[in-house]
Structure formats: C-alpha cells, structure tokens
Amino acid sequence: MQKKIELIGVQMDLGASKRGVSMGPAAIRYGGVCEGIRALGYDLTDKGDLLCLTSGETSEKLRNYQQVVDINQRLYLSTMESLQNGALPIILGGDHSIAAGSISAVSKHYKQIGIIWIDAHGDWNDEFSTESGNMHGMPFSAVCGWGPNLMVDFGQGPVFVDPKHCVQIGGRDIDTEERIRMKKAGVTVFPINVIDKLGMSEVIEQAINIACRDTVGFHLSFDIDAITPEAAPGTGTVVHSGLTVREAFLAVETISETGKMLSMDMVEVNPILDIRNKTGILASELILSALGKVVF
C-alpha cells in the first residue's frame, strides 16, 4: 500500500432527494479521520472540499444534472492529480453521484480496475430505468459505460470498468429494472440474504477475487447506508436490516490485508439526520480500518 494519501471532500447533496450529505465531509473529519490516518504512519494531504454550483439545469429523470456533471468534472481532475502524485485518493461525500468522477479518474489512470461497491442500493440506473430521477442512483452504471450518457462521458474520455470485475455487496433495495440491467451487464451481486447464508468472511473473499482477477487492483465505494440504520442513522435513504457494524469492519479489514485497494469513496453521511455524529465517527473508523488500522 502507498504511503501517500490525499483526502478530497465533496460538499454535494444534489444527487439525493434529502439535503444534508453536503456536510458529510465535515462530520467525517470531526470523527477523527485525518488524525487517524496520520497515526497509521501515512503522509496525508487534506485537499479540502469541492463546492457545487449554486444553480443549474435539471430534468425529471436526471435531477440537477448540470450541477452533478460539473462537480464530477472537477472531482475527476482532482482525483487524477492525486493519482499522478502517487497518492491513494480518499473521497469524502457527499452523495453517491460523485463516484462517477472519482472512479472514472482511477479507471483512466490504471486502465484495468475492479470495483467493490458496498451499498443498500444498486446505483445501476440510467435515465430510463430510474424511478426517482436522483442521480446518486446512477454512478455505478455510469463508470461501466451503461449510462446515463452525460454521467458516462463528461469530457474526460472514459475508460470503462468491465462489469465482470465489479461486485455489489449488501444490496437489499434494488429496483426491478435496475436488477435486470445489473444481471445483463454481469455485475456480481452479494445481496444481504446471501451474506446471511455465506457469512461476510466468505463473501468479501469472493468479492476480492473477482475485483482483483486480471486487474491492477480495485476501487472501494462505501455507501454508509449499507449498514443497518440502528448503527448508522445519519443517512438519507435508510433501508432496514442491513450489515452489522462488525460485518462492515470485517469487509474493510479484509480489503486492507490485500494491499490492492487503489482508492476509496465514503459517501452519504448526513449529519442532519445523525445522532451526536455517530455515523460520521463510524465512517471515519471504517476508512481507517480500510487503510490498515488493526484491533490487535
């Protein structure tokens, strides 16, 4: 694992229907992420936050698309700059729409990457399959080249991630059309009931194998709503009966042991809906465990 880390906050919440995840980067920083990363011995640069445009074009099926595209263009450039510096980028969201910018930079830089996407949702919609028009439900599809088009190519000349190197973990609220699209594309999905049966230890091992086979390594995109709402109440689209805190830690601890994580997003922390920054602290701790923090 690289010793240089660059942190990029993204104050973006226009890809979601509930406001407030724009304050996520602050909540995760208050949770101690910077101090923790330095304590692990990394050379950390906190690049501060990107801010989104105050207004822009919108449509029913692609809500706030101009602001979403704009922030992704700038996050792409910032992530690419970090990669060219030889750093491992950690992106603090913000809603999940920003993963289009971060991942497309990682994919373009390394050419052949896998993705491990830990989330209650599939995030595999386009403008035709979406039921809400919320663009935080579309980035996983976009970085694989499956639309929506304006999120696939926003001027960067994308290198698509092959869905056969992509894994979704923790899904339990995947739309009907979205499910068909994921199956057709060939994304491997470990929904919550499969995790019940196999156990996270087995699931994360299989996921890592899929994401590492014929790739340089993988990007980890962690949506905090993957975790059960009792433990992570500070998020906008809660779905009951999610991952336990220990299952989540086991996943990121095992990921850390591989040394193959190239970059990471931690998204959808909403301090407005949180209880005494419980979710912000949890997000911070999960990042540290993904970077090698051990309990013994």
Residues involved in catalysis: 96, 119, 121, 123, 136, 223, 225, 268
Rounded Cα distance between 229 and 242, Å, is: 7
User: What is the DSSP secondary structure assignment for residue 273, as one 8-state letter?
Assistant: G
- At its nearest, how many Å lie between Mn ion and the CB of residue 122? 8
Q: Which is nearer to Mn ion, 36 or 225 (CB)?
A: 225
Best CA proximity match to 221, nearest among 188, 252, 181 = 252
Query: For the chain, how long is the longest CA-to-CA vector?
Result: 51
Q: Which is nearer to Mn ion, 6 or 123 (CB)?
A: 123
- At its nearest, how many Å lie between Mn ion and the CB of residue 142? 12
Half-sphere exposure (Cβ direction) of 134: Cα atoms closer than 13 Å: 20
For tokens 């779905």, what's the residue?
Answer: 239
Q: Which is nearer to Mn ion, 114 or 122 (CB)?
A: 122
DSSP result, 69-94: HHHHHHHHHHHHHHHHTT-EEEEE-S
Token pair listed for 242: 């999610």
Token pair listed for 238: 């809660």
Binding site for Mn ion (CB under 5 A): 96, 119, 121, 123, 223
- At its nearest, how many Å lie between Mn ion and the CB of residue 121? 5
Best CA proximity match to 36, nearest among 228, 217, 296, 292 = 292
Q: Which is nearer to Mn ion, 13 or 44 (CB)?
A: 13
Strand order from edge to edge, sheet including 43-51: 43-51, 4-11, 88-92, 261-267, 217-223, 113-118, 166-169, 188-190
Q: What angle do CA 249, 258, 24 make, to 5 degrees?
A: 45
Q: Which is nearer to Mn ion, 114 or 236 (CB)?
A: 236
